Structure 1
Amino acid sequence: MADIEDVVTQVGPALLRLVAPGATAVSDVVIADPDGANTAAGDLVLGVAAATPADAEALATAAGGRGAAALLLKSPLAAGPALATARAVGLAVVEVAAGTSWAQLVWLLRSVLDAPGDEPFGDLFGLADAAAAVVGAPVTIEDANSRVLAHSASQDGADQARVSTIVGRRVPRDVLAKFRSRGVFRDLSRGRVIFVPEQPDGTKPRLVVPIRMGGELLGSMWAVVPGPVSEERAEAFADTAPVVALHLLRRRASADADRGRSAELLRAALFGEVSGRLVAARLDLGPGPLRVVAVDAHDEGTRLALADRLGAGIGNRTALAEAHGVLYAVVPDEGGWPALRAALATPDGPVAAAGSAVDPGELARGRAEADEALSLVRAGLAVGPLAVYDDAWAVLVLHRAATAVVGAVGGVGPLSRLHGQDSWYRDTLYEWLRHPGDPRAAASALGIHPNTLRYRMGRVTALLGADLADPDTRVALLIQLVADRWH
């Protein structure tokens, strides 16, 4: 038998949220009587009749006393007195999304509990066939991004736009633009059945039904029809949407669970806890070489948006994981990396860095390189928003050298005489040493006139009291200044 966490995970966060965990295995789903008398051990108790916090609290007491597994309540009842009562008796509490139909939820929960395999609602193509039989026209089932998830077996009477949609597994851009200009997608957000007349270019009429669950638009069904459809047939077509919605929600929850497991596995490989070679094979990342890309994304909303952006248009061989506010993407060096680099190397892009190309067995090294390069971008030492380990080697050498010697050389020699002076003393000496024999370049780096540079260097030389004509002196001073600046 499943436990309550498994059930909530399979149904998905769009409908259910576990507020208080429980240890009792789940066996059945019941719609509770007002007094909870019909509940039993292992039941998922749906608080349909609970209208007030007092009702919910009484139901929690009754269900907990009979050994039920969990109490399902809509907000705000799930956070009221019932929560404290449930915790006291070891009863799990699950919050149900406000717009969820109790009838659909019962069907969904029982399907999850009774399902022997991964597809409790049957084949999505079978549902497309059933919808086509209801409306009497060829049907496609599409997600919220107009990608084709399934289509009816018969496409008799379909036009060229439908053929292109099925072949390309998504609605072509020009076709999308036509429907968008007619307001079809705007109407999808609020209508039940939408009829789209024939287009001037010969695109046949469509009957469109939105697929919703809990107030969220999950996708849509499109039927290519010869003309206006009777109200009865249109309503029958719309009535198939809730079943398709349950299927899509289940598929999404399953995909989310798979992504979560893959992310955990990849995270372990990136930090050297498991074999990177085995993980790369398990996630079908290819034989390598691979690139590890680290993206600064401390905000959860930013991480989700970036995950969608990184996962789109780069190919199937892309794996994502998150750790410590950094989103890691692992892509093939010759496949996904060029596309990902182009997507990130934009002026308004997030702060990001990539390690060098590594063998699948060296994912931990690739992650460490990406992290080091990312730290330099964050500190403003490397030019962003995207730094690549291979290209930033000079910055890396200087930073590593500075980190290694800063404590050992910082207080040695005449450089300490500049302490307490205006910052331009050290800045002027630093740029003068970096551009030997080229005062114009040094002045340009400082944003001053070459004559101003010469004047300042005179002040610095007098205060420093060191022989700047000696090459070893110049190297020693530059090392100290680099250590001070780059540490």
Structure 2
Amino acid sequence: MGTNPGSGRGPTLGRVLQHLGPMLLSTLAGTPQYLTPVGGVVVHDPSDPPALPAGAILLGIGVTDPGEIVELVALADQHDAAAVVIRQPIGRAPVLSDDGTVVLGVPAGVSWQQVMGVLTTAMQSALHPADRGLDGQEAGDLFGMAGAISDLIDASITIEDRNSVVLAYSDHQGETDAIRVEVILGRRTPDVYAGFDEERGAMRSIRESLRPVYLPPLALSDGRQTRGRVALAVRAGDEILGFIWAVADKPLSTEKDDLLLDASRLVALHMLQLRAGADGARRLRTDLLATALTGGPEARSALDRLRLADRPLIVVALTLAGAHAAAAAHVTKSQRVAVSFQVHLAGSWADAAVALLDDTVYALVPARRPDTAVSLEYLCRNFVERTAEDAIVGIGRVVDHPAELELSRADADRALRVLARRPSAQGGDRVARASEIEAEAMLLELRDLALASKRGPFGAYARLLAYDDNRDSTFLVDSLRAWLDAHGDVMAAAAATHVHQNTFRYRLKRLSEIGEFSLDDPAARFALQLQLRLWPPDLPERSSK
């Protein structure tokens, strides 16, 4: 999975570290080489050592003992890892050579989840650099722009898109305030700060002003004090592309205001080029993924271009509640979820391909180990809980050949349909592997066939439904369901329906008379149980026949 340094086709250590900046990772040992190819981000598990691709960035989560750190660095050196990342040692630090593997330190207060999120985002950014712009810099090199603006006006800078997502930032952010640190690590403005800005009309002022706007310091409700800010909208004509934020204790001088305004025009050019490149890359990835998922003759070529050929694959499908609402806000949210899902997967599967097709986010995930489906299910549950609580996720089967990808996609789609039809898709019910819901999926498909041929409930079940419908109740059908679910145990069924046993026995006698069937007939019981699953009394499209 390593990349030829001269090819320019993959991320290099220099590019990745440029995107991160020294605030998040400090160099503890070794000398980072700009052209060192990066082959992925891997979490080290001492009890189950992972396979290490060439050029891996190895995360030593929980590795704090000096001896264990030395062993981890030796392991990384054996496998030609690009770098090792550990928590910055407190107290006795291990003795590490400056001539060996690069060792980077994560400061206290920064979570590993944040490290993985920012690191994989940097990997993706470095993997798809934009073409060079008119000024000779890379069109996507907003980090270089942030640093240049910081030098011009002598202030720490962030460049954000119009949704307040951080695109780039300058050095020395640790010298600002706690909110700015949270902005960098979380890649967006914290809700507590955004709420105060909304109350004081800050964003409205910034959008309406053609010049930089000074915002005084804030005393937050949690007791923290912020420093002041100078903000300027980045414009392309009448369109606002994003914002430049500078930490400043007082308004800038007129000269620095003019410098910031001039710089914003170059930032606008970079952002337009970056958006154009990202849109083109996204469209290409979407087309390739759609082609691969059909399993047709072009699937192999599409997988080659996605770098996913000749390996077992799993299709994952994700959609949001109200996916058919066709609202612009919903489409935008689905696009954001697709990007977030790509980043979330990249921690374990950096080469996974993700794209939004219609109203569903699809992912092609390499199945390197026999337990990949289980690990993937756990990761998807974590993603839903943390990032997309209104999402449901279906996981297909593992397939070995491109022609079988449509089977895995069909599996994932069926799992989504089952989850969407459940009365309450909460907790564990929001994620399912296709193999776990096969019976429910088959019932849905059987119902589709029945509806297509205009067939509905029949025989004894139809008579019981008609009796209940005439009385605007589900009295008999509920009793039947309780009895069948209890496998004919009258005591258990009576307890489930909260009635006396003798009362329930009378109900059984009545429903057998009205339904005109024998409670002792196994074929009649099977037909009733099947129809209860196909056409429960509360099903909207049920029509008695």
Query: What is the correspondence of 1:61-460 to structure 2 with a 5 Å cutoff?
Result: 117=131, 119-120=133-134, 122-123=137-138, 124-132=142-150, 134-151=152-169, 159=176, 164=181, 168=185, 170=187, 173=190, 176=193, 180=197, 184-191=202-209, 192-197=211-216, 205-225=228-248, 227-273=250-296, 274-275=298-299, 279=303, 282=306, 289=314, 291-295=316-320, 297-298=323-324, 299-301=326-328, 302-312=330-340, 314-316=344-346, 317=352, 319-323=354-358, 326-330=359-363, 334=375, 336-342=379-385, 346=389, 349=390, 352-356=392-396, 358-359=398-399, 361=401, 363-380=405-422, 383=425, 386=430, 388=432, 389-399=434-444, 421-423=467-469, 424=474, 425=476, 428-439=479-490, 442=493, 453-460=504-511
Secondary structure of 1:437's counterpart equals coil
Q: 1:195 to 1:413 in 2, by over 3 A?
A: closer
Which residue of structure 2 aligns with residue 50 of structure 1? none
Could you tell me how far apart the structure 1 residues matched to 2:422 and 2:179 are? Answer: 51
Q: 1:376 to 1:144 in 2, by over 3 A?
A: same
Bigger radius of gyration among the two: 1
Could you tell me how far apart the structure 2 residues matched to 1:337 and 1:473 are? Answer: 42
- Residue 247 of structure 1: CA displacement? 1.8
Could you tell me how far apart the structure 2 residues matched to 1:441 and 1:284 are? Answer: 53
Compute the RMSD of aligned alpha carbons. 4.8
For residue 323 of structure 2, what is the amino acid of its counterpart?
A
- Structure 2 residue ranges without an equivalent (≥5): 1-129, 347-351, 366-372
For residue 307 of structure 1, what is the amino acid of its counterpart?
Q
- Residue 184 of structure 1: CA displacement? 4.5
Could you tell me how far apart the structure 2 residues matched to 1:464 and 1:395 are? Answer: 26
Could you tell me how far apart the structure 2 residues matched to 1:140 and 1:169 are? Answer: 13
Could you tell me how far apart the structure 2 residues matched to 1:128 and 1:416 are? Answer: 71
Could you tell me how far apart the structure 1 residues matched to 2:438 and 2:334 are? Answer: 27
Alignment check: 8 A CA contact 2:356 2:362 kept = yes
Percent identity between the two aligned chains: 28
Task: Single out whichever of 436-445 and 249-258 deviates more from structure 2.
Answer: 436-445
Task: Single out whichever of 463-472 and 234-243 deviates more from structure 2.
Answer: 463-472
Deviations 1:138-163 (A, max 9, x none): 544333354443445x7599546699
Deviations 1:206-251 (A, max 9, x none): 4332212344432222344575432233123223212312321221
Which residue of structure 2 aligns with residue 5 of structure 1? none
Could you tell me how far apart the structure 2 residues matched to 1:480 and 1:147 are? Answer: 51
- Residue 381 of structure 1: CA displacement? 7.1
Could you tell me how far apart the structure 1 residues matched to 2:527 and 2:186 are? Answer: 64
- Residue 132 of structure 1: CA displacement? 3.9
Deviations 1:300-334 (A, max 9, x none): 421221221343363545612223xx312327553
Alignment check: 8 A CA contact 2:213 2:232 kept = yes
Alignment check: 8 A CA contact 1:164 1:172 kept = no
Could you tell me how far apart the structure 2 residues matched to 1:386 and 1:441 are? Answer: 30
Could you tell me how far apart the structure 1 residues matched to 2:173 and 2:516 are? Answer: 92
Alignment check: 8 A CA contact 2:334 2:361 kept = no
Could you tell me how far apart the structure 2 residues matched to 1:405 and 1:133 are? Answer: 71
Q: How many residue pairs end up in the alignment? A: 366
Q: 1:171 to 1:394 in 2, by over 3 A?
A: closer
Q: 1:339 to 1:263 in 2, by over 3 A?
A: farther
Query: What is the correspondence of 1:51-62 to structure 2 with a 5 Å cutoff?
Result: none
Deviations 1:170-228 (A, max 9, x none): 46749956984876445323332123456787865543322123444322223445754
